[in-house]
Amino acid sequence: MSKTYNHTKATLALAKASFRSITRSPSAVIFTLAFPLIFIVVFGFIGGGGVKLDVAVLPGSDLQNPIIAALEKTGVVRLTKNDTQQNIDKSLEKGAYDAVISIEKNPNGLPAYYTNVKYTSASLTNGNVLKSVLNDVVGKLNTVNQKPTVTEVRATTVTGREYRTIDFILPGQLGFSLLSTGVFGTAFIFFALRQNLVIKRFFATPVRRSSIVLGEAIARIGFALLGALFIIIIGHFAFNFTLINGAVTVINMLVLALIGVVVFMGFGFVVSGLAKSESTIPPISNIITLPQFLLSGTFFSINAFPSWLQPISRALPLTYLNDAMRKVAFEGAGLWDVKQQILIMLVWGVGIYAVAVKTFKWE
C-alpha cells in the first residue's frame, strides 16, 4: 500500500489538464492568437507586404539625377514631384508625407549631389525605413561610381534589407500575446482555482503545492510558445515576415518568448493574489498590460513618443522583449547580442516574483 508517490506524474497530469482547459477557454485563444493575428493581418495588408513611403520632392530640387532614379527603382518610395511648398509642409505635419527630399547639384565637384531629407515626427517609423533605404541607395551609388565617398555616408550605411511593416508589427504583437497570456491567463486561473475551491480539493490529494504551480506554468508556457510559433509561421509564410537566419532565428525568438512569458506570469501571480473578486481581475490586469501595450513599442517605435514619455517606456519589460525580438528577427542578432534586454527582463522577473511570493494566496 505504501508505494512511493510520484510527484512528476502529478505535475504532468496537472499540466495536461491545464493545457486542455486553456485550449478550450475562449479568452485565452482570443488574446493569445486571435488578436495578434488580426493586427498582423490588418497591418500585413495595409503594408501590402511592404512599406510604401510617401516622399515629396521639394520644388526647385534637381530632378535629373541618379539618386531620384535609384529611389524610384526601389519600388518602396513613392515620389511626388509637383506639390507646392505650402501643401508639402501641411502634409508633412499630418504625416501624409513621410519625408520631404531635395537634391542639389554640388557646384564644387565631389560629392556630385547633396541630398537633404526632412523627416516628420508624425511618421517616425516610416522615416526610419526611409533612412535605411536612402543609405542603401546612396551606398550602392557610391560604390558604382568607384569613387572615394564621403566618410559619413559609409559610416551610416546599413544593410539595405527591405524592412516591411510586418517586421515591425509582428514582434510587437508577439510581445502583446505573451503579455496577455502571462498576466490575464495566470491571474484568472489561480484566482478561479482558489475561489471555486478547486485548490482545496487538490490539497486533499498528496499533490505538492510546487507541483500545482509547476504544472500550471508548464501548460501556460507551452501554450504561449505554441501560439508564438504559430504567429511566426503565419507571419513568415503569409506576410513575408523576415526571419534572417531561418530556424535559428525562430528558436532565438522562442527563447525570448519563454523569458517574456515567465516574467509576465509573475505579474499574473501578483494579480491573482491582489484580486478580491473575479471582476477586479481585468482592471488590475489592465493597469499592468495597457501601459505596456501602448508604451512598449507594440505599434509605434518608442522613438515616436515625446521625450518625457520615453523614460517610462524604457522602464517597461515589454519594451525590451519587443526590442530584442526585432533585433533577433530582422537584424539577425544572436541571444548574446541582446543580453542587455534579456538582463533587464530578468531583473524584472526577480523583482516581480519577489512580490508574487508575498502576495500570492492559496485559499
Partner 1 sequence: MTDRKAIISVQNLVKHYGDFKAVQGLSFDVYENEIFGLLGPNGAGKTTTLEIIETLRSKTSGQVLVNGLNVETDANAIKQIIGVQLQAAGYYPNLNLLELLKLFSGLYGVDVSPIEMLAKVNLQDKAKAKYKELSGGQKQRFSIATTLINSPKIIFLDEPTTGLDPQARRNLWDLITEIRNNGTTVVITTHYMDEAEQLCDRVAFVEAGKIIALDTPDQLIDNLIASGFERKKEVKAANLEDVFINLTGKEWRE
State the residues that interact with partner 1 by CB under 8 A: 1-3, 5-6, 9-10, 12-14, 16-18, 20-21, 24-25, 192-193, 196-198, 200-207
CA 231 – CA 116 distance, rounded (Å) = 39
Q: How far is the CB of 6 from partner 1 (least distance, A)?
A: 5
The rounded distance, in Å, linking the Cα atoms of 180 and 220 is 11
**Cell of residue 148, nine digits:** 572615394
With respect to partner 1, which residue has the nearer C-beta, 9 or 90?
Answer: 9
CB of residue 19 vs partner 1: minimum separation in angstroms?
A: 11
Residues 266 and 190: their CA atoms lie apart, in Å, by 12
| Grid coordinates belonging to 86 | 505650402
C-beta closer to partner 1: residue 8 or 82 = 8
3-state secondary structure of 239: helix
Of the pair 30, 350, the CB lying nearest partner 1 is at 30
Minimum distance, C-beta of residue 169 to partner 1, in the bound complex (Å): 31
φ, ψ for residue 150, nearest 5 deg: -65, 135
Which H or E run contains 101?
A: strand 99-105
Write down the least CB distance from residue 8 to partner 1, Å: 10
Which CB sits closer to partner 1, 5 or 45?
5
**Residue 43, C-alpha cell as written in the block:** 497591418
CB of 198 to partner 1, least distance (A): 5
Q: Packing angle between helix 186-195 and helix 209-239, nearest 10 degrees? A: 150
CA pair distance 246, 329, nearest whole angstrom: 9
Choice between 28 and 55, CB closer to partner 1: 28
For residues 9 and 105, which CB has a smaller minimum distance to partner 1 in the complex?
A: 9
What are 77's strand-pairing partners? Answer: 53
Closest CA to 101 of 139, 70, 125, 141: 70
